Amino acid sequence: MKKIGITCYPTVGGSGIIATELGMMMAKDGHEIHFITSSLPFRLNEVHPNIYYHEVELNHYPVFQYPPFDLALANKMAEVIDQEKLDVLHVHYAMPHAVCAILAKGIAKHDVKIVTTLHGTDITVLGIDHSLKKMIKYGIEQSDAVTAVSDSLVNQTYNTVEADKAIRVIYNFVNEDDYAKTDNPSIREQYGIAADEKIVIHISNFRKVKRVQDVIYTFQQIKNDVKAKLLLVGDGPEYSEMYQLVSELGLNEHVLFLGKQKNVSDLLSISDLKLLMSEKESFGLVLLEAMSCEVPCIGTNTGGIPEVIEHGETGFIVEPGDIDSAAGYAVYLLQDDDLKKQYAQNALTYARKHFYSRDIVKQYLDLYDELISDM
């Protein structure tokens, strides 16, 4: 049994989901898990005797213009390392978690190994920001082990932050119990979607990098050839602009803005196709969620997306911004039910083969073992 501390962003986001699911699965395997975060991770929806939660508290002294969260986090990490005698502290997202963990290791008396998992924007966005670059490089190089969620992210890390450190790829996974095709035809009715209409879905946090406008323009073309509805799931900075775009294009009757949703697998289960037209995407966890629910995907040739979608087998890859090709592939698939079924089956098989949760959790546990045996 290992004692593992986990720090992640506890609100929404793929990195927080992976960290929390990893902790829950390891707890079920008998390991003791200590979440050290600013609030309860949103996916932590189970009571389990092996899971503990340590909240980072912030004191608002008038002398501080900005309360120093990073230092409070490092202090809490050091406290938990010593009190609980952690074997490993695994932090998800380099900034500021890796640097906080290294500081905590220096403060704590008990020896602990630091594992940092890079998720994407910590490198592709923050890693090119000169005010943070050196700090990210330091966090990576001083960690005992570093993992990244795709080959592409490893390469980008070497190219952007020029880190002198071996980085191991451990792909993302989904909890297959939560992401599986369900049979719930009443959902279609509830949303007023006719039986002969195809459903195209996009799920994201509506940040600029997701290029939701490309999803809308692609759908506009699909609709010319196929009777279809577009489900836009999620919320974020671009939401109002996308709402306006849909109105300007006269697509209001065909596009459903559903906002943030909890049971995404129910929505995926009624969907025929998933679109992810991002400009940057280190992995695209939403693609794997879709594939596990037997939904073929069209994604852009960026970051880790081509490592998740197998072009011409489980879905299609198009160049970022290539709306015409995306619409062409979508129509090709949506007009042929047998072909769509084949792609859906291939997607599920591919997800199970390459991203099966038990295999991925084992890869992390093996990494911890390697580090602990060095102690």
Chain residues binding ligand GMT by CB under 6 A are 13-15, 18, 93, 119-121, 124, 149, 172, 205, 207, 209, 280-285, 303
Per-residue DSSP letter, 55: E
Q: What angle in degrees, to the nearest 10, is found between the helix axes of 212-225 and 239-248?
A: 30
Judged by CB, which is closer to ligand GMT: 18, or 222? Answer: 18
Question: What is the identity of the amino acid at 290?
Answer: A
Nearer to ligand GMT, 150 or 269 (CB): 150
In the bound complex, what is the minimum distance in angstroms from residue 285's beta carbon to ligand GMT?
4
Number of C-beta neighbours around residue 275 at 10 A: 28
Q: How far is the CB of 157 from ligand GMT (least distance, A)?
A: 12
Give min distance, CB of 73 to ligand GMT, in A.
17
Rounded CA-CA distance 35/28 in Å is: 15
- Is 76 or 119 the residue whose CB approaches ligand GMT more closely? 119
Q: What angle do CA 227, 232, 235 make, to 5 degrees?
A: 170
> What's the min distance (Å) between Cβ of 23 and ligand GMT?
15
Provide the H-helix boundaries in the chain. Answer: 14-28, 69-84, 97-107, 121-124, 133-142, 151-160, 186-190, 212-225, 239-248, 264-269, 285-292, 305-308, 323-334, 337-355, 357-373
Closer Cβ to ligand GMT, 203 or 222, answer by number: 203
- Residue with Cβ nearer ligand GMT (203 or 327): 203
Measured at CB, which residue is nearest to ligand GMT? 120
Helix (H, G, I), strand (E, B) or coil at 249: coil
* Selection from 127, 145, 147 nearest residue 137 by Cα: 127
Cβ at position 237, least distance to ligand GMT in Å? 11
Q: Which residue number, 108 or 126, has a Cβ lying nearer to ligand GMT? A: 126
Q: Is the N-terminal amide bond of 96 cis, ω within 30° of 0?
A: yes
Please, what is the minimum distance in Å from the beta carbon of residue 85 to ligand GMT? 29
